[in-house]
Structure 1
Amino acid sequence: MDLNWTYYSPKTPAERVLIVGPSLGGNAAHQWTKVAAELIDDVRVVFVDLPGGGLGAVWDDADSPSLDTLAAGFAQVADEVRADLGEDVPVYFAGLSISGATALHLARDYDKTFAAVAVVASSAKVGEPERWLERAEAVDERGTQHLVEETTKRWFTPNFRAEHPATVDTIMEGLASTDDHSYAQLCRALAEHDMREDLGLIRIPVMMIAGERDTSTPLANVEAVAEGVLRGALHVVDGAAHLVPVSHPVQVAGLLRGMVDRPLASRVVPESGD
């Protein structure tokens, strides 16, 4: 799978690389730019779009709808970045929502490619397969536009929606403009995602970042990942709903800075909100 990617700031020193992936129906630049700006002196950030979202090509039906397929695409991006910047450049990954779920596949299967991963607002199993398959069928029939109202309420708290309407509108326009079939195929990939039995196989550091008010991702599921991997850490961002990097970029950037600066120990640390 070929995924579209771009550097946030090509002039940033290339001592370390952080690849970031968006949510289902998201645009990497829209969801990660504020975090990238905070990290401009720390890492070179690479935005990657999912199929059908942002600048990403639509889903190629030659590719099976699974997060293993998506993980292979992210790993290929890492290889391309290293070919550009140097084979010894350490590469980290941070994924939001579906990209966060994919981060666990990367940690299991590409531990020689990535030094550590951050799973933001996601877990080893996301929802129930039947619901994802139902959503896939609904989007194939009706498009992503019908999801916008309900998704807005899950992605942002009422206070954030009231205080940052332009940001919310930009994010939700990205969902509405996502290619319908690509979105549906990603739903089918999430239906198959279940890493619960494989957490013990993961040896690289895994940072879990959860929104304290995220109704999409039960905190118990996030805690289970942090406890199930060998080198896990859990941080709960106070006051954040599902799109934690959008609503709390300073806190997320600080956590990611810590991930690339030092090894992780198993711990749970609450993070204060804005």
Structure 2
Amino acid sequence: MDLNWTYYNPDTPAERVLLVGPSLGGNAAHQWTRVAAELIDDARVVFVDLPGTGLGSVWDDADEPTLDAVADGIARVAAEVRADLGADLPVYFAGLSISGATALHLARDHADEFSGVVVVASAATVGEPARWLERADQVEATGTQQLVEETTKRWFTPMFRAQQPAVVDVIMEGLSVADDHSYAQLCRALAAHDVRDDLPYITLPVVMVAGERDTSTPIANVELVAETVQRGELHVVPEAAHQVTVCRPADVARIIRGLFTRGQTSKVVSESAD
């Protein structure tokens, strides 16, 4: 899988790379720019587009609809960035929602290529397979536009929607213009996503970030990952729904910066309340 990618701050002297990926039907630049601005001196931030969103090409049906395929594409981006920079810099990946789920596939299958992953608003399983398959068929038939109203309510708290309607509109536009078939294939990939049995064998640092008011991702599922991987860490961001990177970018940036600086430490499971 060939994925489109773009530097946010190519001229920074930072000696590490952070790849970031969007939610299902999301635009990586829109969802991660405020976090990237906070980390402008800490990492060379690279926005990675999923198929059919942002500047990404539509889903190539030569690729099976699995998150393994997406993870392979992200690993390829990491190799391309290293080759472009001409340096063997440590590379991290942070993903929101479906990209967070994909981060666990990277931690399992591409541990030698990454120094750590950050899973935002996701877990080792996401939702029910039958519901994802049903949504895939629905979107193929009627498009993503009909998902916008209900998704807005899950992605943002009522207070955030009232205070920052323009920000919400920008994020939801990404969903409304997403390629329908690509979105459907990603739904099918989520239906097959289940790495619970693999968690005890993941040795890469895994930082879990949950929104306190995220109804899409049960906190018990997030805790399971943090407690089961060998080097897990959990942070709960207050007053954030599913779009944690949009609603609380400074908190997310602080958590990611902690991953950069903590080094080789033993497993820590903690809850952030600030």
Report the TM-score when normalising by structure 2: 0.98
Please state if 1:197 is matched with 2:197: yes
| Partner residue, 1:167 | 167
Tell me if structure 1 keeps the 8 A contact 2:14–2:41: no
**Residues 8-27 of structure 1 correspond to what in structure 2 (within 5 A)?**
8-27=8-27
| Partner residue, 1:270 | 272
Matched residues in 1 for 2:122 and 2:87: separation? 30
Structure 1 residue matching 2:111: 3-state secondary structure? coil
Deviation per residue, 1:128-153 (Å, 9 max, x gap): 10000000000000000000000000
Aligned residues: 272
The more displaced of 47-56 and 261-270 is 261-270
Matched residues in 1 for 2:182 and 2:227: separation? 33
The more displaced of 211-220 and 11-20 is 11-20
| Partner residue, 2:35 | 35
Structure 1 residue matching 2:76: 3-state secondary structure? helix
Matched residues in 2 for 1:269 and 1:88: separation? 33
Please state if 1:179 is matched with 2:151: no
Q: Which of structure 1's runs of 4+ aligned residues deviate more than 3 A?
A: none
Matched residues in 2 for 1:87 and 1:108: separation? 24
Matched residues in 1 for 2:231 and 2:251: separation? 21
Matched residues in 1 for 2:244 and 2:101: separation? 15
| Partner residue, 1:81 | 81
Tell me if structure 1 keeps the 8 A contact 2:50–2:56: yes
* CA apart distance, 1:86: 2.9
Tell me if structure 1 keeps the 8 A contact 2:67–2:102: yes
Matched residues in 2 for 1:270 and 1:239: separation? 12
Report the TM-score when normalising by structure 1: 0.98
Structure 1 vs Structure 2 CA RMSD:
0.8
Tell me if structure 1 keeps the 8 A contact 2:14–2:42: no
| Partner residue, 2:229 | 229
Matched residues in 2 for 1:63 and 1:246: separation? 30
| Partner residue, 2:99 | 99
Tell me if structure 2 keeps the 8 A contact 1:14–1:85: no
Percent sequence identity over matched residues? 71
Matched residues in 2 for 1:164 and 1:204: separation? 36
* CA apart distance, 1:224: 0.2
Amino acid at match of 2:165: P
Structure 1 residue matching 2:214: 3-state secondary structure? coil
Deviation per residue, 1:215-260 (Å, 9 max, x gap): 0000000000001100000000000000000000000000000111
Deviation per residue, 1:56-85 (Å, 9 max, x gap): 000000100000000000000000001011
What stretches of structure 2 of length at least 5 have no aligned partner?
none
Structure 1 residue matching 2:113: 3-state secondary structure? coil
| Partner residue, 1:112 | 112
* CA apart distance, 1:14: 4.2
Structure 2 residue matching 1:209: 3-state secondary structure? strand
Deviation per residue, 1:24-44 (Å, 9 max, x gap): 000000000000000001101
Tell me if structure 2 keeps the 8 A contact 1:14–1:89: no
Amino acid at match of 1:267: V
Amino acid at match of 1:73: G
Structure 1 residue matching 2:56: 3-state secondary structure? coil
* CA apart distance, 1:87: 4.2
Deviation per residue, 1:151-179 (Å, 9 max, x gap): 00000000000000000000000100000
Tell me if structure 2 keeps the 8 A contact 1:126–1:217: yes
Tell me if structure 2 keeps the 8 A contact 1:7–1:44: yes
* CA apart distance, 1:13: 1.3
Matched residues in 2 for 1:14 and 1:135: separation? 41
Matched residues in 2 for 1:188 and 1:169: separation? 26
Amino acid at match of 1:4: N
Inter-CA distance 86–262: structure 2 relative to 1 (3 Å threshold) = farther
Structure 2 residue matching 1:268: 3-state secondary structure? coil
